[in-house]
Amino acid sequence: MKRRTFLKNGVAAFTLSFAAPAFLSDLARAQGATRRNLIVLDLSGGNDGLSMLIPYTDSFYYSRRPTLGVPAGTVLQIGSDSSGKALGLHPKLTGLKDIFNQGRLALIQRAGYANSSRSHFSGTDIWSTANPSNTTGSGWVGRYMATLPAPLDPLAVWNTTGDTPHVLQSATVAVASIPSITGYAFNSPNSGTEATYEKAAAVSIASHVPVDKPHVAFVSTTAQAAMATLSRVASVGTYKPSVTYPNNGFGQALQAIAGAMAKGIGTKVFYLQTGGFDTHSGQDTTADAGAYVKLMVTLNAGLTAFYNDVQNLGMMSDTLLLSFSEFGRRISENGSKGTDHGAASVMFAMGGGVRGGIYGTAASLNLDPQNPTLENSAGDVHYETDFRSVYAKVIDNWLGGDSVGVLGGNFKKTGIEFV
C-alpha cells in the first residue's frame, strides 16, 4: 500500500554513456571491492508483528484476540527475549525457524518511531526516507548509494517491482526496474538486418537527452539505461537455481535476485515487495486457507528457497536481507476478525553475516492505559528501537558506510548488534 512522492529534481538522470556492459562491467568490478549485497524486503500493507512473532504466554494476547490468537501449542518456540518473555514464530514459518536455529535470522522487536503514522502512504514514506518529519526527500538506500564513487553502474540498484520505490530514490542514482527478465528485451516488427538497423536507431534515439526538457530527458535516460542493460539482464535469465522456487511473484523475484548474484552482474542493492498485509478483515491466522496463514506460507517458502539456493552458491556470507513494513497493527482484533492500523512492529534480518537471535523486548499487552510498552490508550505497540538505529547498523556494519551522514543524525544504538 504505497504512494510515492517523487523528488523535485526527479529520479537520477543518466548523463554517462553506457558503452561498458560485459557480464561484469569494469565499473561494477571497480566498485565491487566488496561483493556484499543488501536485499530490502517490503512487507506491504502493515504487517501484524504479533501474528508473526507471538507472545504466546501473554494472556492478554489471547483475551484481546479471541479469534486471531495463534494457539500456544502450535507456535514454533524460539526461546525468550532479554525480558524473559517467551516467543514463538507463526506455525508456518518452519524454514525461518531452521534459519533462526542456524543463527542466521535476527528478529528486532518493537521497531518504530514516535507518533507513528497510521497512514499506509505516510508510513511507507517515513520508513523509506528514514525521516518522520519530512518525507519529500530521497530514500535512505538511495542516499547511501549516492555516497559511492560515481558513476554508478546502471544495474547497481535492481528493483524487482514495476515502479521505483521511494526507499531507492535519489537525485543521482538510477534504478533498474526489472519485474520480468523475459520481458526485458528489445523486440522488432522486422527481422534480420532490418531489425538490427532498428535497434541501432533505438539506441541512438534514446541517447538524445534534451537539456531544455527535463521530463523528456528523464524518459530518454530511462530508455538509454534499458538498452544498455539488456544483455546482462538476459544472462540472469539463464540461471539454473539449485532449488525450486515457489511459482509466485515473490518466489520468482527471489530467484531473479539469486540469479543476478550468481551471474555476477554487479548489483549491490535489490528491492522486493510482497503485499497483502493490510488485514482489516478476515485475517485468519490459523486455517490453511486463512489470509495471514497464506502470507506466512508465501514468505516462508520464498525465503527458505532463497536461503538454501544462496547457501549452495556459496554466497550467503555476502548476503543480507532486511525487512520492513509501514506499521504494525492494532493489538485488539476488530469486529471483522481483522486488525486495524497500529504502530511498532517486528523487523527481521537474514544472512550469512547476521548474528541470529531475538533483539529488543516484547510489549506487555495488558490494557492498563499507563502501560509504557503500549500507546494510543494501550491500543498499539509502542516502539522501543528507533527503526533508524536498525538502518544505522546495516549502513555502518554491513555496507561500510557512514550512517550519520546517510541518516542525517546519529542513530547508533547498542544492544541490537544483529550484524
Binding positions for other proteins, rule: CB under 8 A: 1-4, 6, 10-11, 44, 118-122, 154, 159, 162-164, 175-180, 183-190, 193-194, 197-198, 200-202, 204-206, 208, 210, 214-220, 222-223, 225-226, 229, 280-281, 333-336, 338, 340-341, 376
Nearer to other proteins, 108 or 206 (CB): 206
Smallest gap, in angstroms, from Cβ of residue 281 to other proteins? 5
DSSP track, 213-241: -HHHHHHHHHHHHHHHHHHHHHHHTT---
What is the grid cell recorded at 390?
536498525
Smallest gap, in angstroms, from Cβ of residue 152 to other proteins? 14
Nearer to other proteins, 348 or 383 (CB): 383
Residue 78 host element (H or E): strand 76-80
Whether residue 42 contacts residue 321, with contact meaning beta carbons closer than 8 Å, is answered with no
Bridge pairing between strands 105-112 and 345-351 = antiparallel
Whether residue 292 contacts residue 93, with contact meaning beta carbons closer than 8 Å, is answered with no
What is the grid cell recorded at 268?
549491490
Q: Exposure of 343 by Cβ count < 10 A (0-12 exposed, 13-18 middle, 19+ buried)? A: buried
Nearer to other proteins, 179 or 246 (CB): 179
Smallest gap, in angstroms, from Cβ of residue 195 to other proteins? 8
Smallest gap, in angstroms, from Cβ of residue 23 to other proteins? 18
Smallest gap, in angstroms, from Cβ of residue 248 to other proteins? 13
Cα angle 246, 249, 253; round to 5: 85
Scan for cell 537539456, then name that residue: 211
Nearer to other proteins, 164 or 345 (CB): 164
Bridge pairing between strands 374-375 and 380-381 = antiparallel
**Residue 349's closest CA among 311, 285, 381, 303?**
303
Return d(Cα 75, Cα 59) in angstroms, integer. Answer: 15
Smallest gap, in angstroms, from Cβ of residue 199 to other proteins? 10
Smallest gap, in angstroms, from Cβ of residue 163 to other proteins? 4
Smallest gap, in angstroms, from Cβ of residue 396 to other proteins? 30
Return d(Cα 130, Cα 391) in angstroms, integer. Answer: 8
Return d(Cα 236, Cα 260) in angstroms, integer. Answer: 5
Smallest gap, in angstroms, from Cβ of residue 117 to other proteins? 9
Nearer to other proteins, 10 or 352 (CB): 10
Nearer to other proteins, 340 or 386 (CB): 340
Nearer to other proteins, 344 or 349 (CB): 344
Return d(Cα 259, Cα 172) in angstroms, integer. Answer: 26
Nearer to other proteins, 175 or 407 (CB): 175
Nearer to other proteins, 282 or 372 (CB): 282
Nearer to other proteins, 95 or 338 (CB): 338
Nearer to other proteins, 204 or 242 (CB): 204
Burial 295-324 (b: 16+ CB within 10 A, else e): bbbbbbbbbbbbbbbbbebebbebbbbbbb
Q: Which amino acid is at 118?
A: R
Smallest gap, in angstroms, from Cβ of residue 257 to other proteins? 15
Smallest gap, in angstroms, from Cβ of residue 145 to other proteins? 16
Whether residue 123 contacts residue 117, with contact meaning beta carbons closer than 8 Å, is answered with yes
Return d(Cα 116, Cα 124) in angstroms, integer. Answer: 11
Q: How many CB atoms lie within 10 A of CB 208?
A: 11
Edge-to-edge strand list for the sheet holding 76-80: 53-54, 86-89, 76-80
